[in-house]
A = this chain, B = another copy of it.
């Protein structure tokens, strides 16, 4: 499991509180890694007990800001460079895309694909706009841009697939219509 390394990684990018991490997972990483409050707070305490992170500031409302320690940074580096990634995935989006053309009739499939294409087109557009804006503000080599770029490429892949699937199903349908008419 990699929640441990997800948290460690985010804190290596910038110190944060549990509350901020939760927002981060919800708004900036929803297509990458997902985690909520009841996982985060116990995990932060565990990482702190093991010496990978530490509280660097106590704010109002019991706010604890955590940062990675040297040991944490070393562990993160070890994980990224030496541990063979688990490349299996479990994505409802991909599962639906897989099943849709295989199990739905053409009308249902085309309807769902039209809606899905819309979602990914919007996501791709807003990521592209964000990247355009950012490239004027920060240095072109800024590593944050690469994170957006990954999301953009995945959204574009989904959009491209939706459009391809739509066309193929439509022409398959057209072909059978044509056959029916002869």
B-binding residues in A (CB < 8 A): 2, 5-6, 9, 12-13, 29-34, 73, 76-77, 80-81, 85-104, 108, 111-112, 119, 139-141, 143-147, 149-150, 153-154, 156-158, 160-161, 164-165, 168-169, 171-172, 175
**A169 CB contacts on chain B under 8 angstroms:** 141, 143
**A157 CB contacts on chain B under 8 angstroms:** 153-154, 156-157
Closest residue of B by beta carbon distance from A119: B87
- List 8 A–B pairs whose Cβ atoms lie within 8 Å, in order of A's numbering: A30-B89, A32-B94, A80-B100, A80-B103, A98-B150, A102-B144, A139-B172, A154-B157
- CB distance A9 to B99 under 8 Å? yes
Cα separation A92 to B112 with both chains bound (whole Å): 28
**A5 CB contacts on chain B under 8 angstroms:** 95, 99
